[in-house]
Amino acid sequence: MLVTRCFHYAVSHTMGRCSLRRLVVVIATLSVMATITFFIYSLSLDSPGLPGIKQGQLVKLRARQRQLEEGMTPLMEKHESADSDQALLFHHAQEGNVEGFKSIRNKNFDVRIMNSNVVREKTPSKGKKSKLSEKMSWPDKRKGDKGRQVAKVHSPKHRSQRLDEFMGVTNPLAVPRIAEYCNIPVREVRGREGEAPPGYSLKSVYLIVRHGDRSPMGSFKNSPNPILSCQHDSSKKFDIPNFDKFVSTMQYYQSHLHPGNTFPFHLYPRSQTCESSELTGQGSLQHLLTGWHLHERYVQKWRLFSEPFSPSQVYVKSTGYSRTYQSAIALLYTFLPALNLTDLNIFRSDNLFFCSEKSFGHSCSCPVLKHYKKMSDGEAGAYDRNNTDLKRVRQYIANVYNIKRQELPWLWSMIDTLMAYACHKISLPCNKNNDCIEPSFLAELWHQLDLHGARLDELDSYQKYARLGIHPLLYEIKQHMVLTTKKKAKVKFVLYSGHDTTVSPLATALGIGHGRWPKYATRIAFELYSREEPKKHHFLRILMNGEDVTSRVSFCKGQAKSGFCKLKYFVEFVQKENLSLFNGKTYAQACEMPTTH
């Protein structure tokens, strides 16, 4: 009403005789009107029950959300919409969104908005002060918070970026690093395998894979691991020919295997509950999807195998574990034009690096490998022992499990166990006081493991371990490629089914690993091409999880053109450069234990 009267007064007087005095009065009146209107409008936009949160903050949120949708932040990359919504809840809370605030309460923590700062407060359990709250070393002693442990998320002194970024996220798979590692088979596998312009011809492919999702190797003291199914899930529907016949096909071949088969395992996951380190049904699906993707790229597109297809065109090696054996079979089932396990033999490797004395021409014994591995672990572990952030998170987890920090397994083993929950969408562990492992702390553990791996990857001792260990495998691949160029090899596809301890040293030797723990069903492909220009040349493409990394590989840097690297650079690398850290010594000499004086 006041605004209306002021406006009427201004207009009625302006319509009369103009004068400078009256003009000044009108301008002043309009200014007062604008100020009053803005004040009333601001009051109407305050969030009830949460003083200090203005509509302007929601405008910031919308801008933030647009950035997320446009891919301007890594938090939203490579995730399905459900996981993205979980991740966005945290940003809603940070920007003062009331609905976001209401959505992220859980049984462990209340997330509250205080003067545009996110604050996390331990929820009391039945009136008792939580043991976890007592031991947390991130107190906030502001007035009015006596008797409560409150941690400021935005305190750089006591908080890490991961705890900031993912505080309030309830779904671990909303954390990109966790989702990447789990590699849940919810959609088709993608990648750039088999991409080449006209004029190139695909000659052979060499694939090194890590097994699929498995049950944990260890456990926390006095705490059983979650119960997982190690049974192939036939209810999953994928657009893959004969996918629904996988189990019946495996059941047939279980009693019709190649006479040279030495693996004492079932051909696919069939146990209702997992024992330690067994391939899960999810792990089997990962490789079934990978096999079909590669079938489309190599078999359908390039006609890699000559017709009629014969198992003699395929060579397969697996380490002596059920998880690697079953992973190889799942991949072959969807990849090959036809899988005949009566005619196709899968060779067993007794070491993680697939060294074969027959193909390598030397003894596979290399005593110094353990020496370099122990040395590198000790050097990288020295930093972890003085890492304050890691100590805090370890103490938090120890409190949840009600054990001493010294009784926790080491970093890798903790993550390995906790990922069994995250990758199978099981609630993270809680104790009797409802103190739980939160996704933000699991994200911090992953960050610390990646830091550990990056430090490890830079150590001279680990470089020696990786290059020396993987050398027999690289030698075998190189030898077969050379035979292929001379048309002396019938095999067109070679598969090595191994472990993270196979893939990681290989990635380090190639200069593409950076110490990151490889996800389940990780794959590294070596593609051999020929091209007439006008003289025939042979080229390599190297891909990791479908990403073309040829130009980043150590022996192809500065040499790759249009994504292709001449085969001769790989040959020179294997024959000379890979063992350059050992001062020109041969493999046998480099494997000898160093003498101490």
As a whole number of angstroms, the distance between CA 62 and CA 74 comes to 17
* Residue 563 covered by a domain: yes
As a whole number of angstroms, the distance between CA 497 and CA 477 comes to 14
Mean pLDDT, the chain, rounded, equals: 80
Predicted confidence band of residue 534 (pLDDT cuts 50, 70, 90): confident
As a whole number of angstroms, the distance between CA 545 and CA 519 comes to 9
The predicted-structure confidence for 433-476, as pLDDT tens digits, reads as follows 999 999 999 999 999 999 999 999 999 999 999 999 999 999 99
Segment 514-536 mean pLDDT: 93
The predicted-structure confidence for 277-295, as pLDDT tens digits, reads as follows 999 999 999 999 999 999 9
As a whole number of angstroms, the distance between CA 330 and CA 104 comes to 40
pLDDT at residue 14 in the model: 46
What is the CATH number for 235? 3.40.50.1240
Judge if 289 and 350 occupy the same domain. Answer: yes
**Boundary of a domain, candidates 458, 475, 506:** 458
Judge if 412 and 502 occupy the same domain. Answer: no
Judge if 67 and 90 occupy the same domain. Answer: yes
Task: List strands edge to edge, sheet with 117-122.
Answer: 109-114, 117-122, 150-152
Q: How far is CA 88 from CA 69, 73, 529, in A?
A: 10, 11, 45
For the full predicted model, state whether its pTM sits above 0.85: no
According to DSSP, residue 297 is labeled: I
The predicted-structure confidence for 315-346, as pLDDT tens digits, reads as follows 999 999 999 999 999 999 999 999 999 999 99
Phi-psi group of 528: left, alpha or beta (phi > 0 → left; psi -120 to 50 → alpha; rest → beta): beta
Judge if 255 and 356 occupy the same domain. Answer: yes
Judge if 378 and 490 occupy the same domain. Answer: no
* Residue 105 covered by a domain: yes
Question: How far is residue 380 CA from its own chain's centroid?
Answer: 21
Judge if 344 and 232 occupy the same domain. Answer: yes
Residues 6+ positions from 174 with CB-CB distance below 8 Å: 79, 83, 84, 86, 87, 166, 439
Least confident of 34-43, 198-207, 400-409, 487-496: 34-43
Residues that are catalytic: 211, 500
Find the radius of gyration of the CA atoms of the chain.
31
Q: Which of 192, 281, 271, 197 is nearest to 235 (CA)?
A: 281
Does the N-terminal peptide bond of residue 308 adopt cis geometry, omega within 30 degrees of 0?
yes
530 touches 485 (CB < 8 A): yes
* Residue 42 covered by a domain: no
* Residue 147 covered by a domain: no
Judge if 346 and 373 occupy the same domain. Answer: no
* Residue 550 covered by a domain: yes
pLDDT at residue 50 in the model: 34
* Residue 165 covered by a domain: no
Judge if 268 and 380 occupy the same domain. Answer: no
The predicted-structure confidence for 83-115, as pLDDT tens digits, reads as follows 333 333 333 333 333 333 333 333 333 333 232
Write down the H helix ranges in 16-80.
20-45, 55-69
Judge if 446 and 572 occupy the same domain. Answer: no
Judge if 498 and 438 occupy the same domain. Answer: no
Judge if 313 and 451 occupy the same domain. Answer: no
Judge if 349 and 233 occupy the same domain. Answer: yes
Vertex 186, ends 500 and 242: CA angle to 5°?
Answer: 95
* Residue 178 covered by a domain: no
**Boundary of a domain, candidates 458, 476, 495:** 458
Residue 491 identity (one-letter amino acid): V
Query: Residue 88's domain spans which residues?
Result: 55-139+152-159
User: What's the total number of domains in the chain?
Assistant: 3
* Residue 21 covered by a domain: no
The predicted-structure confidence for 43-76, as pLDDT tens digits, reads as follows 444 333 333 333 444 434 444 444 444 333 332 2
317 touches 354 (CB < 8 A): yes
The neighbouring-strand residues paired with 525 are 207, 543
As a whole number of angstroms, the distance between CA 336 and CA 545 comes to 19
More confident residue, 44 or 390: 390
